[in-house]
Amino acid sequence: MTRPTPPAARREPKSITQLGRTRVDDYAWMKDENWKDVLRDPKVLRADIREHLDAENAYTKALLDDPTKPLQDALFAEMKGRIKEDDSSVPASDGAWDYYVRYEIGAEHPVHGRRPRGRTDGEVVLLDEEALSKGKAFFQVGAAHHSPDHRLYAWAADEQGSEYYTIRLKDLATGETLPVEIESAYGDFTFSPDSQWLFWIWRDENARPSKVFRRPARGGEDTLVYEETDDGMFLGVGTTSDDSHIVVHVGNQETTEIWLIPAADPTRPPFVAEPRRVGVKYELDHWTDRWIIRTNDDGALDFKLATSTAEIPAKSTWTDLVPHQPGHYVTGFSAYAGHLVRLERVNANDRIVVMARSGGEHEIIFDEEACALSLSGGYEYDTPVTRFIYQSPTTPRQWFDYDMASRERTLRKTQEIPSGHDPARYVARRLMAKAADGAEVPVTVLMLKDTPLDGSAPLLLYGYGAYGHAMEPSFSIRNLSLVDRGWIWATAHVRGGSDKGWGWFLDGRKEKKPNSFTDFIACAEHLSANGYGKAGRMVAYGGSAGGMLMGAIANLRPDLWAGVIAAVPFVDVLNTMSDTTLPLTPPEWPEWGNPLEDAAAYDTIASYSPYDQVSALPYPPVLATGGLSDPRVTYWEPQKWVAKLRQFSTSDAPILLKINMEAGHGGASGRFDFLKEIALDYAFAIWAMDKGWEQA
């Protein structure tokens, strides 16, 4: 059989001079200068670019379909078989109603519903996503809320994958959708506690959230509430737990500023709680008669909780409530009338701490070697019950209602696996790999109990390592399809995430970004040294900023990998961080550095940017994926990277590109359609591990 020929990408050298440094980009032509219009209407994509993307998709299909299509179908069927098709959430009570979402058999999208509190009949359908999605290639709902008086239901829908949302409202008395649409919205909004106003965020022509507006909930003129002039800031809106204030959140990865509006006077201009100071993050909530502030101020590297009784909770009024404790990363908190609940992470595992208003606190912990806990906030403030979710790589999700006074746990739901799941068949372990500088990097491993540890088992190593996002040791119906085939699934908790605290994040950003890459390689070598894998029998997998990780480790150690899967990979770092028109460029300078103004930042980024560092190396098989409407990692990043890899690779391993022409950053929007994309990734991993490409 003759292997299909990959598309030949033309080279048009473009010279770029910046801060006295010059680079040449042969594939800059792949970026459609009309990209803003493409986000909203992909049909306007330049013809030559579309032709090349179509050719790339055809090449990937031609190379993978014959050897892996039956495997893809089997993987998809397995993953779908682990999903309870008529699943529903645990109802969340609010006043006279219980609110929930549920799925019907075969549906890609859920129904949002409510019924009288404590009953199982009398459903009122609030939103039928499945019905609204019919005939649309992409449909995704962002925020969806009922008004506090239970008379309206509002939702934000993205029908392109571009993350430009349209907000619509439904009158729950008549069942009619109001003749009001809010266009070019961010996927976040909130009702005022009196239900009379809707606060929403406008997304500008550069796809950035830049203004907060207020409008009458049933329609009317918009009033500007807040305008952010710094392109590097994100915006959010919400209300405090006790419904005393409306909150406008302004921030990026390292700096926060919060503006407040008293709920009793929702048309009043907002006032700032504590003015922004670079490097200081804070979030706050109102606890009946005082403010609770989570912050890293005053050197609280792993954050602390402070309190204030002032009307305006400025820094000068803060006093410590839960002092900073190094190694105990306070990741969040929830306020209830009689209790304060906080979530902490200690050495990559979670625990919940409950503090009574009357004094004293206690912990909720589980004893698995690697597990994850999360708070699942409800609607009600004056309640003794909080809800949390427990899971581990071997244990499906469990939803518990927890009485904070009596400490009684009530299991409300266990994730059902229709095709069956026996946790006793598996083992999850927490290993520690030593990085080059001596740092101990956690690795979470999932495998069958009888998997041999002699290096013969195929290994998939997953990583992310950016923005302070931790890779929780969670349960995945998807990973089991590889593990059940004798694979070992390992997650590397590299620096750049907050798995070991906020300092773990700071040690993997800006000038320290290379730590993320060397940590990942250290994890691969530790796993190999201990029989979990070996060079050439490992597949590396990561997406978005984790795709940058994939590009970097492919450049640094191509010999380690049987294959590399890079989903929506952020690989053209230097060009993207130098283009101020792109949605995420100014907001992400705190993460990567600003190569337009800072020569050291330019040199650091240039030293690791996967696209810029591609060179004459024996690259392993690579699968890169993307979405045409993606505003976060634009389609041309993986397109350019694949072209350059093919140009320079000294091996004959295939370099593949798959672009979803009808989706954005998250891929396909349906719960089953998305699994088809995962099945392709996993089939590629197996094909690459078995060197199926050598027979093509």
Residue numbers annotated as active site: 544, 630, 665
Q: d(Cα 685, Cα 234) in Å, to the nearest integer?
A: 36
Orientation angle between helical segments 514-529 and 545-556, nearest 10 degrees: 60
Give the residues across from 411 on adjacent strands. 400
Angle in degrees, CA 657, 659, 665, rounded to 5: 120
Q: d(Cα 432, Cα 442) in Å, to the nearest integer?
A: 5
51: left (phi over 0), alpha (psi -120 to 50) or beta: alpha
Q: d(Cα 464, Cα 499) in Å, to the nearest integer?
A: 11
Q: Where are the alpha helices (DSSP H) in 291-397?
A: none
Residue 576: DSSP 8-state: H
* Dihedral sign (CA 563, 569, 570, 576): positive
Q: Is 205 exposed, middle or buried (0-12, 13-18, 19+ CB in 10 A)?
A: exposed
Cβ pair 576, 609 in contact under 8 A = no
Residue 106: what residue type? G
Pairing mode of beta strands 488-492, 459-463: parallel
Q: d(Cα 314, Cα 308) in Å, to the nearest integer?
A: 8
Residue 628: DSSP 8-state: T
Q: What is the 3-state secondary structure (H, E, C) of 402-417?
A: EECCCCCEEEEEECCC
Residue with token string 């320290």: 512
Q: d(Cα 107, Cα 84) in Å, to the nearest integer?
A: 11
Cβ pair 398, 416 in contact under 8 A = no
Q: What is the 3-state secondary structure (H, E, C) of 303-333?
A: CEEEEECCCCCCHHHCEEEECCCCCCEEEEE
Q: Which of 500, 626, 497 is nearest to 571 (CA)?
A: 626
Residue 274: what residue type? E
Cβ pair 81, 367 in contact under 8 A = no
Residue 230: what residue type? D
Q: Which of 565, 332, 369, 603 is nearest to 470 (CA)?
A: 332
Backbone angles phi, psi at 170, to 5 degrees: -125, 135
Cβ pair 429, 444 in contact under 8 A = yes
Residue 650: what residue type? T
